[in-house]
Amino acid sequence: MTDSLGAYMRTLFLHPPSYDGFDGGAGARYQARREIRSFWYPTWLAQPAALVPGSRLVDAPPDGLTVNEVLPLAHRYELAILHTSTPSFPYDVRVAEAMKTENPDLRIGFVGAHVAVDPEGALRASETIDFVAREEFDFTIQEVAQGRPLRAVLGLSYRDNGIVRHAPARPILENMDTLPFVVDVYKRDLTLENYFNGYLLHPYVSLDTGRGCRSKCTFCLWPQTVGGHRYRTRSVEHVVAEIALATRYFPQVKEYFFNDDTFTDDLPRAEAIAHQLGKLGVTWSCNAKANVPYDTLKLLKDNGLRLLVVGYESGNQQVLNNIKKGVRLDLARRFTKHAKNLGIKIHGTFIVGLPGDRRETIEETIRFACEIDPDTIQVSIAAPYPGTALYREAVEQGWLSGGQLVDGQGVQVSALSYSHLSRTEIFESVESFYRRFYFRPLKVFALAGEMLRGREVMKRRLREGVEFLRFLSRRKEA
């Protein structure tokens, strides 16, 4: 099953078509259609694609590809690797089945946290799926693409004459520098301009400089399923060489984003990378916890840091303790003040419907958000993903409402309900959160001021404003 590339099968890496505008790619933590058009880079898929010569990565949602447009690809490849997620799994299976009908010889594998948590269930869901790769799947997929027998590939669960079998686990990756650069795959296969994100400059590029997070937030998907709780990192030189290469490949890029769970988990390393990025003169942003000291913030800012994405989650300390956030509200306030004083922008993320949330605590969170006043916010509904401590807790406590994580349009709905807080109340609180945060005179003036600084920004913000209002009105109808 190999071609002129010698040792490798002709391999397609596919983020399948899904709900319109669905940001469920191999880079999104919450797979859902966002309030404004938004797509993360499919970094988890690009990484194994970089290990398989001659492969191709197709990211259908940002490219606006339909199932019918993707199907002809089934004939051109011997192996297809589909990235899936809990909300999109049934849809992704249908895409896989259609591809197999087109080309019955196509070998199909699924990857992603959903199948890593329940490989048996995934394989039983459809005979179309030949195997799933558990844990970190980069080298697992490389070995499959090299044509190794499935039973000999660590980390694989596969179908063998109708019986589901599980190969032993693949050891966690320690030397992260063995992962090749993803920007080569981005350059070869992706259209950068199709990747939007409301709070990042456009066009942007995101990639990972490490995997894993030291924190143990009970709701958080990746560290509990594939990344683990040690922050395993690429060397400073490796990261900086990739960014330097990216600046040559993509002169149009205005910002680089480090999508590591918590880039600031290793402060000396973050500072060392910042020093080098400062020399390159690039603008960059990253995920951070609300506990970075002032001196580090200043050094990062002096070396090109533009924005931090900060998971505040709640404005109630007990709720934060319930989810093991490991952050104190007073320290989060101080951190935010420091960052703002230094001119660092903040995109704050909040969650409603967490364990312990009541109408009053959601109200506290809205007031907290307005008080600390990040530049932009994202409000998510607590999502009990299988494989997380939140999911196990929800099962034990009877909080699962029987609903899905997203509705028929891919918009988040509440899969949790409590005796004191219904799923409808949780769902409706998202809209009031957004309205109360954004429709304040202070915020409206800030956005207007930003728009007046340039035509491009104005065009973009107006488009996003329309999308945002449509999003709110669609939620009202739901």
Residues of the shown chain interacting with ligand SF4 in the complex, contacts defined by CB under 6 A: 213, 215, 217, 220, 223, 261-262, 289, 311
The residue among 220 and 305 lying less far from ligand SF4, judged by its C-beta, is: 220
What does each C-alpha distance from 67 to 45, 97, 108, 182 come to in angstroms?
19, 11, 16, 26
Q: Please, what is the minimum distance in Å from the beta carbon of residue 313 to ligand SF4?
A: 7
The residue among 202 and 214 lying less far from ligand SF4, judged by its C-beta, is: 214
Q: Please, what is the minimum distance in Å from the beta carbon of residue 55 to ligand SF4?
A: 29
The residue among 262 and 429 lying less far from ligand SF4, judged by its C-beta, is: 262
The residue among 31 and 215 lying less far from ligand SF4, judged by its C-beta, is: 215
Q: Please, what is the minimum distance in Å from the beta carbon of residue 289 to ligand SF4?
A: 5
The residue among 289 and 347 lying less far from ligand SF4, judged by its C-beta, is: 289
Q: Please, what is the minimum distance in Å from the beta carbon of residue 215 to ligand SF4?
A: 4
The residue among 208 and 407 lying less far from ligand SF4, judged by its C-beta, is: 208
Q: Please, what is the minimum distance in Å from the beta carbon of residue 337 to ligand SF4?
A: 20
Q: Please, what is the minimum distance in Å from the beta carbon of residue 230 to ligand SF4?
A: 12
In this structure, the chain runs to a length of 478
Phi, psi at 448, each rounded to 5°: -65, -40
